[in-house]
Amino acid sequence: MEVITSKLKRCVLLAASGRIDSSTAPQLQNAINEVTDEGNFKLVLDMTNVEFISSAGLWVLVNAQKKCKRFNRGGVVLTGLSKRLHDALDLAGFIPYFKNFDNPTQAVGSF
């Protein structure tokens, strides 16, 4: 699991790749914490290269959303969800919590 963080003008883009399970979810959590600790609460999570996500990974997304939503106009939006990732979010009942965009440009433009 890897996360590449790009700080943009209006938001921060985090591109995750690999498998997010109970073993690797803390890495994603740390990457998000680094960004929010610096006062950035508008996040785009690009999931295009994520091959697998378990409930442990899904909770990282939800906790990030909870944290970012507390700030004015803050939030986490998603892009690049495969059908499998979408199905996992759906199974967890997490779909309503995230705006989901077809590509990173649209996701970044939403802020």
Partner 1 sequence: MITMAFPGRFSSLDAIRNFYARAGEQAGLDKDSIADVELAVDEAASNIIGHAYGGEGKGEIECSYRVLPEGLEVIMHDHGKPFDPEEVSPPDLTSDVCCREPGGLGLHFMKSLMDSVEFSFNGHGGNLLTMTKFQKRAVKP
Q: List interacting residues with partner 1 (CB under 8 A).
A: 19, 21-23, 52, 54-56, 58-59, 62-63, 65-66, 69, 84, 88, 91-93, 96-97
For partner 1, the closer CB: 9 or 72:
72
Taking the complex as a whole, the smallest distance from the CB of residue 40 to partner 1 amounts, in Å, to: 19
Characterize 24-63 residue by residue with b for buried, 16 or more Cβ atoms within 10 angstroms of its Cβ, and e for exposed.
bbebbbebbeebbeeebbbbbbbbeebeebeebbbebbbe
For partner 1, the closer CB: 73 or 103:
73
For partner 1, the closer CB: 8 or 75:
75
Taking the complex as a whole, the smallest distance from the CB of residue 72 to partner 1 amounts, in Å, to: 16
Bridge-based pairing state of the strands 12-20 and 2-7: antiparallel
Phi, psi of 77 (to 5 degrees): -115, 155
